[in-house]
Structure 1
Amino acid sequence: MKIVILGDTHMPRMAKALPPRLIAELETADGIIHTGDWQTLEVLHELKRFAPVDGVYGNADSPEIRELFGREKRFIFDGIAVSLVHGDGKGKTTPLRALETFREEQPDIILFGHSHIPYHERHDGIVLFNPGSPTDKRRQPEFSFGILETAGTGFSLRHIFYSSKV
Structure 2
Amino acid sequence: MGSAVKIVVISDTHMPKKARHLPDRLLTDLEDCDYIIHAGDWQTMELYKELQQFGPVIGVAGNVDGPELNSLLKTKEILRAGDFLIGIVHGHGTGNTTEKRALESFKDDMVDCIVYGHSHIPVLKEINGVIVFNPGSPTDKRRQQEFSYGILTVGEDLRAEHIFLKRKIEIDIGKL
Give TM-score scaled by structure 1 length: 0.97
2:8 maps to a residue whose letter is V
Match in the other structure for 2:51: 47
2:145 aligned with 1:141: yes
SS of residue matched to 2:153: strand
Identity %: 49
1:164 maps to a residue whose letter is R
How many equivalent pairs are there? Answer: 165
- The answer to whether the 8 A contact 2:58-2:79 is kept is no
| Structure 2, gaps ≥5 residues long | 170-176
2:149 aligned with 1:150: no
Superposed displacement of residue 46, structure 1: 1.2
2:99 maps to a residue whose letter is P
- The answer to whether the 8 A contact 2:33-2:54 is kept is yes
Match in the other structure for 2:162: 159
- Which structure's CA Rg is the greater one? 2
- In the alignment, which of 69, 72, 75 is matched to residue 73 of structure 2? 69
2:133 aligned with 1:129: yes
Give TM-score scaled by structure 2 length: 0.91
SS of residue matched to 2:70: helix
- 2 CA distance for matches of 1:94 and 1:7? 14
2:161 maps to a residue whose letter is R
- 2 CA distance for matches of 1:2 and 1:67? 28
Instruction: Please provide the CA RMSD for this pair.
Output: 0.8
The Cα offsets for residues 107-166 of structure 1, whole Å up to 9 and x where unpaired, read as 1000000000000111122111000000000000000000001113x1111000011211
